[in-house]
Each structure stands twice: as C-alpha cells, then as structure tokens.
Amino acid sequence: MDKTQELSGSHAGGPLDHSPIDASSVNDILMAGDKSKGGRPYFLESAETERIMNVAMAVATEVAVLRERLDTLERLLESKGLIDRAAIEAYEPDEASAQERQLWHARYAARILRIFQQELDAIARPENNTPMHRIADEINEM
C-alpha cells in the first residue's frame, strides 16, 4: 500500500540535486524555497527592482513576526504580574534615556541609508573615485 511513487525530491544536497532522499535527509531550508515549474514572470519594468521588492517583503514579514513575538512576551509577563502593559504605553523616558534612544535611532537610520550617503560622497569628491583597476595599476608603480 505504501509504495513510494515518483520519488522526485530535489535536494538533499542543494537546489540542483535531484537525487531521491529519505525521511532523515530532508533539506528543509533549501527545499522550502524550491522554485515551482514554469518561467517566473516579472511585473515591474526592472527585474532588479522586483528582486529587491521580494527581499523587502520577506524582511517585512519577519518584522511582523518579531512584533507578534514581542506582543506575546508582553502579554505573558503581564499575566504573571511582572509588567503592566498600560505602563509600557504610557512610558516616557527621562532626559538621559531619551537621548540614548535618539542616538540608537540615528545610528540605525545611518546604517540603513549608508548607500545614499556614499553616493553623495562620490559626487562631492570625484577625486576619491578612481576606478580600482586604475588604482591597481598605479599602486603597482608605487
């Protein structure tokens, strides 16, 4: 009754490996992202942009997952009398704490937007933008 039919697992050894597998060698991490049959359509004018959108949506999903986990944590702690969620909502940091948090936000924003900062730097200081193959030639003479 339980004969295996059309064993067509991909991937004990990666996405291009189509050898059959057994129950103990399921590569769940890579198999989860298996591509379905047929060419993938791209809807945006630029496939590069669509790739980035797909990465951004996956990251957005994980932000939502973190938010739900944090909410679980808060509710569990509150149910055990360890925290008061209303107090979290009403919390206003003192001057020093507020400054620390602003600093964190500033660093975070700068990390995320690094590439824009560096592109501006490139325009502002063209002398610092010699192509690396030329620098390699130059440095060979040094």
Partner 1 sequence: MSSYQLPPVWTKLRRHEVFPTFSHDERARYNFLSNLNRFVSTVMAPGNRIAFENRVRPSFQEKHGRDFQDRHELQDYMSKDPVYQAWGALRRSTMEMRQQNGRAAVLRQAAELAGKVCEQLSKGPQNLELKEGFTVPPYLRHVDNHLMPGSYHTEYFQGDVANAANYDSGLFVTSGGMLGSLTDGGGQAIAKWVKETYPDFHPKRILDIGCGLGHNALPIAQAFPAAQVTAIDAGAPMLRYGAARAKALGVHNVTFIQADAASMPEFEDAGFDWVQTTMFLHETGGKAIHRIMQEIRRVLTPGGITLHIEQPQYTPEMSLYEQFMRDWDAYYNAEPYWGHMHDLQPQDLMEEAGVPREEFMQIGVKAVNDLDPKKEDGKVAEDYGRSPIWNVFGGWKR
Residue 77 binds partner 1 (CB under 8 A) = no
Return the biggest CA–CA distance within the chain. 76
Q: 105 near 95, Cβ under 8 Å? A: no
Does residue 16 belong to the site contacting partner 1 (CB under 8 A)?
Answer: no
CB 131 to partner 1: min, Å: 34
Size of the chain, expressed as the number of residues it contains? 142
Which one of the spans 40-48, 77-85, 99-107, 114-122 is the region binding partner 1 (CB under 8 A)? 40-48
Q: Is 44 in the site for partner 1 (CB under 8 A)?
A: yes
CB of 97 to partner 1, least distance (A): 29
Residue with tokens 């129950």: 23
Amino acid residing at 62: E
Residue choice 13, 18, 59, 72 for contact with partner 1 (CB under 8 A)? 72
Whether 122 and 128 have beta carbons less than 8 Å apart is answered as yes
23 binds partner 1 (CB under 8 A): yes
Q: Which two tokens stand for residue 45?
A: 């004018």
Burial call 99-132: b when 16+ CB within 10 Å, e when fewer: eeeeeeeeeeeeeeeeeeeeeeeeeeeeeeeeee
Residue type, 85: R
At its nearest, how many Å lie between partner 1 and the CB of residue 51?
10
Per CB under 8 A, the segment of 61-69, 87-95, 98-106, 126-134 that binds partner 1 is 61-69
Task: Tell me if 3 contacts partner 1 by CB under 8 A.
Answer: yes
Work out whether 59 is an interface residue with partner 1 (CB under 8 A).
Answer: no
Is the CB of 38 or the CB of 126 nearer to partner 1?
Answer: 38
